[in-house]
Amino acid sequence: MELKKNPKANVGRNSNLYFAVGLNVMLLITYIGLEHKSYETEEIKIDLLMLEDQYDEDIPITKINIPPPPPPPKQVVTEAITLVEDEEEVEETVIKSTEVGQDDIIEEVVEVEEVEVEEVEEDVEVPFALIEKVPQFPGCKGNNAELKACFEQKMQAHLQKNFRYPKAASDLNIQGKVYVFFLIDKTGRVSKIKSRGPDQLLETEAERIISLLPKMIPGQQRDMAVSMPYSVPINFKLMQ
């Protein structure tokens, strides 16, 4: 004989439903617990302020008797009128106009002497790359290309010969490149020396080296002595 179960006695037939309902209830309780806000309450003590009746006190008005200012003193003005007889007749002076009209004749003749016109020589500056004949170092000869090459060689030799590192700059570990700008004028002398570098000590030394350049034969442009600007970099570097 087989045993048959009553379907109503099956306990696990609605377990999924109960599980889902229980899960939702727990989530709702958790959400309410997290979102619940509480505020600190302070005790407020309420006192009753008793105000007595205030009475306005009448302040008596005091009058101060100030005497009026004294009247200003009366000034008596006496004028003495004297009659003066006209004894001398005054002649009216007529001022003549100094303007010259068309009908006036100019009697004086002004002589104009001849003015001498002096020619002022302009100081023309021609760059190193465009000058027809560059300034000549003592000992340089040849055409313009040879003179340029000799000029650059002599310039490098002059820098190496007269180079001296400033002791103060060496102690302070100051180094860098100094650009020196100068002009070889139409007399062959070096002038207008300027420099730009990282420190005043190096600039002063670079200008000293350039100021020792010898007098040269000035550059020429169209068979006329002209000035030539030139710049040279001097590198100050300490050996490690």
Average pLDDT over every residue of 13-28: 85
Q: How confident is the model at residue 17 (pLDDT cuts 50, 70, 90)?
A: confident
Instruction: Give whole-number Cα distances, 66 to 59, 60, 70, 116, 189, in Å.
Output: 21, 19, 12, 94, 97
| Domain span holding position 175 | 144-236
Predicted confidence at residue 14, as pLDDT, reads 75
Average pLDDT over every residue of 118-122: 59
d(CA 8, CA 10): 6
Run of H or E residues at 204: helix 200-211
Q: How confident is the model at residue 40 (pLDDT cuts 50, 70, 90)?
A: low
For Cα atoms 77, 82, 86, give the angle at the middle one, nearest 5 degrees.
150
Evaluate if residue 110 carries a pLDDT over 60: no
* Number of domains composing the chain: 1
> Is 199 inside a domain boundary?
yes
Bridge partners, residue 176, by sequence: 236
> Is 114 inside a domain boundary?
no
Q: Are 203 and 195 in contact (CB under 8 A)?
A: yes
Q: What's the CATH code of the domain at 203?
A: 3.30.2420
> Is 132 inside a domain boundary?
no
Evaluate if residue 106 carries a pLDDT over 70: no
Return all residues near 204 (Cβ < 8 A) that are at least 6 apart.
166
Bigger pLDDT: 215 vs 117 = 215
Tell me the pTM. Answer: 0.49
> Is 207 inside a domain boundary?
yes
> Is 47 inside a domain boundary?
no
Evaluate if residue 28 carries a pLDDT over 80: yes
Bigger pLDDT: 68 vs 169 = 169
According to DSSP, residue 187 is labeled T
> Is 68 inside a domain boundary?
no
Bigger pLDDT: 94 vs 219 = 219
